[in-house]
Amino acid sequence: MSFDIIVRGGTLPDGSTADIGISGEKIASIGPRIDAEAGKIIDATGNLVSQPFVDPHFHMDATLSYGIPRINASGTLLEGIALWGELKPLLTHEAVRGRALAYCDWAVSMGLLAIRSHVDTCDDRLLAVEALLDVKKRVAPYIDLQLVAFPQDGFYRSPTARENTIRALDMGVDIVGGIPHFERTMADGTRSVTELCEIAEKRGLMVDMHCDETDDPLSRHIEQLAYETQRLGLSGRVAGSHLTSMHSMDNYYVSKLLPLIAEAGVSAIPNPLINIVIQGRHDTYPKRRGMTRVPEMLKAGIRVGFGQDCVLDPWYPLGAVDMLDVAFMGLHVAQMTSPADMAHCFDMVTKVNAEIMGLDHLGLAVGKTASLVVLDAGSRVEALRLRADRLCVIAKGKIVAEREKRATRLSIAGRPATVDRRHHKPAG
Ligand code: FE2
């Protein structure tokens, strides 16, 4: 038997060592030792081999636009939305497509091979929708790109958003989005959750709503989202993104809310980099962190992933397209520092995010799509600690990115010539 590629001797996320044989687009064999010919052998000895990184929350129509036409001076969500509103009329199909493709190149180099991007449906031209549908087709050989119809300026608040969101779904956008906390009233927000879930149910689509992205403890649209998910039988197909108001909610109310979210089978997608930088902007001190209650949701049995949300856009002046940065920040803000919790944070940006997006074809198992990443780290926790380099990225059976191992040359008398970033071996 021969394979197209064998990835040899890598450490899998569970700590075991294995060879992985790839034929065509699939993983054909995994075992302690594969004795076979291969078109290409990748030596992964001592390196972590993982299923690829997955980002379940992004805005690809806005990415890489930082500074156009100006920067967000206050750093708030609301100024970001206003600034995006100034940029929208200036967009062209070519500019959106060009930035999105440049972003996808960057993503591939970082082992990020599945992305769920919201796309604004409040521009009557639906230019970004057209551009990202085009990008989705172009990157399909190496990136799974899901698009969410996202009425950024409010499904009801923006006069043509309702009609345009439905048009975007007709054009082939995959998922129904929403922004209930940005509607004119709480009641309109509630109503928008109901109508958007009904649209998804009729069309057999998934739902992913920006939900309660505010510090207002009374913003409770997640309650309605859980209710509609259960009423319409959408369990497992609905995600609430952000849920930052939960950080500030009354503890008694949360003790009632979490079991309802778990029971409905609604997933949660906090976005740690953005939540920590945008929320709490009206606070003096003590200043709220603004990220939702991740450990508590996990304990309640709710599926929680971590999203990236923004890179170099009206809301965020930074971003390195690194899902390890996202998990690293999430781990800190949620204080998830036990060894098991840290390892789980790695799983959240790989395995759990893939589950939230319904990407059953990803995973390190025979018959799954041969998409994986070789990291310059010995374990999941080390990958997080070092935000490890991606030494090799394989997408659908093809090597799409490679990089040399980093080596610093030290010139200090009496000291070694290199620095071993992996020198610390945790006890046990
Ligand atoms: Fe977002």
Q: What is the DSSP string of 210-273?
A: EE--SS-TT--HHHHHHHHHHHTT-TTSEEEEE-GGGGTS-HHHHHHHHHHHHHHTEEEE--HH
CB 319 within 8 A of CB 308: yes
Q: Check residue 427 and give its pLDDT.
A: 47
Share of the chain above pLDDT 90, in %: 95
- CA–centroid distance, residue 211 to ligand 1 (Å): 10
Q: For 91-102, write each residue's pLDDT tens digit.
A: 999 999 999 999
Poorest-confidence range of 82-86, 229-233, 328-332?
A: 82-86
d(CA 348, CA 291): 16
Q: What's CA 308's distance to the chain center, in Å?
A: 5
| Mean pLDDT, rounded, of the chain | 96
Q: For 43-72, write each residue's pLDDT tens digit.
A: 999 999 999 999 999 999 999 999 999 999
- CA–centroid distance, residue 19 to ligand 1 (Å): 38
Which residues are identified as catalytic?
Answer: 213
Q: Check residue 419 and give its pLDDT.
A: 86
d(CA 74, CA 267): 31
How is residue 68 annotated by DSSP? S
- CA–centroid distance, residue 118 to ligand 1 (Å): 7
- CA–centroid distance, residue 269 to ligand 1 (Å): 10
> Where do the domains of the chain lie?
2-51+363-408, 53-356
Confidence of residue 32 (pLDDT cuts 50, 70, 90): very high
Confidence of residue 421 (pLDDT cuts 50, 70, 90): confident
Confidence of residue 426 (pLDDT cuts 50, 70, 90): low
Q: For 181-196, write each residue's pLDDT tens digit.
A: 999 999 999 999 999 9
Instruction: Give the mean model confidence (pLDDT) for residues 218-229.
Output: 98
How is residue 352 annotated by DSSP? I
- CA–centroid distance, residue 213 to ligand 1 (Å): 9
**What is the CATH code of the structural domain delimited by 2-51+363-408?**
2.30.40.10
Q: Check residue 428 and give its pLDDT.
A: 43
- CA–centroid distance, residue 411 to ligand 1 (Å): 46
- CA–centroid distance, residue 271 to ligand 1 (Å): 8
CB 390 within 8 A of CB 400: no
Residue in 178, 171, 176 with CA at minimum distance from that of residue 155: 178
Q: What is the DSSP string of 354-415?
A: HHHTT-TT-SSSTTSB--EEEESSSSHHHHHHHT--EEEEEETTEEEEE-PPP-PPP--TTS
The CATH superfamily label for domain 53-356 reads Metal-dependent hydrolases (3.20.20.140)
